[in-house]
Structure 1
Amino acid sequence: MKELHILLPIKQIRLHKLTMRLKEPFMTSFGTVQDKDFFITEAIDDKGNHGFGESVAFSSPWYTEETVQTSLHVMEDFLIPILMENEISHPDQVSELFYPVKRNNMAKAAVEGAIWDLYAKNNQISLSQALGGTKKEIDVGISIGIQPTVKDLIQKIERFLEEGYKRIKLKIKPGLDMEVLREVRKQFPFTPIMADANSAYTLKDIDHLQELDDLDLLMIEQPLAHDDIVDHATLQSALKTPICLDESINSMEDARKAIELGSCRIINIKIGRVGGLTEAKKIHDLCQRHGIQVWCGGMLEAGVGRAHNIALTTLPQFVLPGDTAGSSRYWEKDIIKPEVRVEDGIIHVSKGPGIGYDIDEQVMKDFTEWTRVYDF
Structure 2
Amino acid sequence: MTITKLTLRHIGLPMRFTFRTSQGALSHRESLIVGVTTSSGYTGYGEVVAFTEPFYTAETLTKSKDILLTAWLPFFVGKTLTGSWTMYDLIRDMESVGRDVSEAAGYDTLGHGDCAVLRAAERGVSQPLTGDTLRAQYPMAWAGLENALLHAYCGEQGVSTIGTLVPGKKHNTIESGVVLGDMPLPNLLKAVDAHVAKGCKRIKLKLKPGDAVARVAAVRKAHPDIILAGDANCSFLPEQADEIIALNPYNLCSLEEPFMAKDEAGNYKSTEVYSSLPKELRKTIKTPLCFDESVQSLAELKAMYATGWLDVLNIKVGRLGGLRETVRCLDYCRSHNIGFWIGSMVESGVSKYMHVQLATLVDTWMAGDLSDMSRYFEKDIITTPIEFSKGSLAVDFKPGLGTDIDEAVLDEYTLDKIVFE
TM-score relative to the length of structure 1: 0.93
What is aligned with 1:145? Answer: 181
Between the aligned partners of 1:332 and 1:85, the Cα distance in structure 2 is: 37
What is aligned with 2:140? Answer: 106
- Checking the alignment, whether the CA contact within 8 Å between 2:245 and 2:284 is kept in structure 1 is yes
Q: Which of these residues, 363, 378, 402, is aligned with residue 332 of structure 1?
A: 378
- Checking the alignment, whether the CA contact within 8 Å between 1:91 and 1:112 is kept in structure 2 is no
Residues 3-82 of structure 1 correspond to what in structure 2 (within 5 A)?
8-82=1-75
TM-superposed CA distance for 1:313, in Å, is 2.7
TM-superposed CA distance for 1:267, in Å, is 0.5
Alignment pair present for 1:256 and 2:256: no
- Checking the alignment, whether the CA contact within 8 Å between 2:359 and 2:367 is kept in structure 1 is no
- Checking the alignment, whether the CA contact within 8 Å between 2:357 and 2:397 is kept in structure 1 is no
TM-superposed CA distance for 1:86, in Å, is 5.1
What is aligned with 1:174? Answer: 209
Residues 113-152 of structure 1 correspond to what in structure 2 (within 5 A)?
113-133=147-167, 134-135=169-170, 136-147=172-183, 149-152=184-187
Between the aligned partners of 2:32 and 2:255, the Cα distance in structure 1 is: 31
Residues 1-376 of structure 1 correspond to what in structure 2 (within 5 A)?
8-84=1-77, 87-95=80-88, 97=91, 98-101=131-134, 102-133=136-167, 134-135=169-170, 136-147=172-183, 149-224=184-259, 225-226=261-262, 227=268, 228-232=270-274, 234=277, 235-375=281-421
Between the aligned partners of 2:328 and 2:363, the Cα distance in structure 1 is: 12
Cα RMSD, aligned residues only: 1.7
Moved more, 55-64 or 203-212: 203-212
SS in 1 for 2:83: coil
- Checking the alignment, whether the CA contact within 8 Å between 1:236 and 1:264 is kept in structure 2 is no
Residue identity in the other structure for 1:344: K
- Checking the alignment, whether the CA contact within 8 Å between 1:132 and 1:315 is kept in structure 2 is no
- Checking the alignment, whether the CA contact within 8 Å between 2:212 and 2:243 is kept in structure 1 is no
Between the aligned partners of 1:171 and 1:219, the Cα distance in structure 2 is: 12
TM-superposed CA distance for 1:207, in Å, is 2.0
What are the Cα deviations for residues 135-163 of structure 1, in whole angstroms up to 9, with x where unaligned?
Answer: 2222331111101x211000111111122
Moved more, 98-107 or 296-305: 98-107
- Checking the alignment, whether the CA contact within 8 Å between 1:128 and 1:314 is kept in structure 2 is no
Between the aligned partners of 2:166 and 2:292, the Cα distance in structure 1 is: 23
Residue identity in the other structure for 2:271: I
Change in CA separation of 1:237 and 1:93 when aligned onto 2, cut-off 3 Å: farther
- Checking the alignment, whether the CA contact within 8 Å between 1:29 and 1:200 is kept in structure 2 is yes
Between the aligned partners of 1:330 and 1:236, the Cα distance in structure 2 is: 36
SS in 1 for 2:210: coil
TM-superposed CA distance for 1:31, in Å, is 1.2
SS in 2 for 1:99: helix
Moved more, 177-186 or 44-53: 177-186
SS in 1 for 2:246: helix
- Checking the alignment, whether the CA contact within 8 Å between 1:53 and 1:305 is kept in structure 2 is yes
- Checking the alignment, whether the CA contact within 8 Å between 2:77 and 2:420 is kept in structure 1 is no
Between the aligned partners of 2:274 and 2:380, the Cα distance in structure 1 is: 38
Residue identity over aligned pairs, in percent, reads: 30
Between the aligned partners of 2:364 and 2:18, the Cα distance in structure 1 is: 28
- Checking the alignment, whether the CA contact within 8 Å between 1:284 and 1:317 is kept in structure 2 is no
Residue identity in the other structure for 1:358: D
SS in 1 for 2:150: helix
TM-superposed CA distance for 1:30, in Å, is 1.1
Larger Rg: 2
Residue identity in the other structure for 1:83: F
Residue identity in the other structure for 1:40: I
Q: Unaligned regions of 5+ residues in structure 2, if any?
A: 92-130, 263-267
Residue identity in the other structure for 2:133: P
- Checking the alignment, whether the CA contact within 8 Å between 1:19 and 1:369 is kept in structure 2 is yes
SS in 1 for 2:245: helix
What is aligned with 2:101? Answer: none
Between the aligned partners of 1:365 and 1:62, the Cα distance in structure 2 is: 28
- Checking the alignment, whether the CA contact within 8 Å between 2:2 and 2:79 is kept in structure 1 is no
TM-superposed CA distance for 1:93, in Å, is 3.7
What is aligned with 1:5? Answer: none
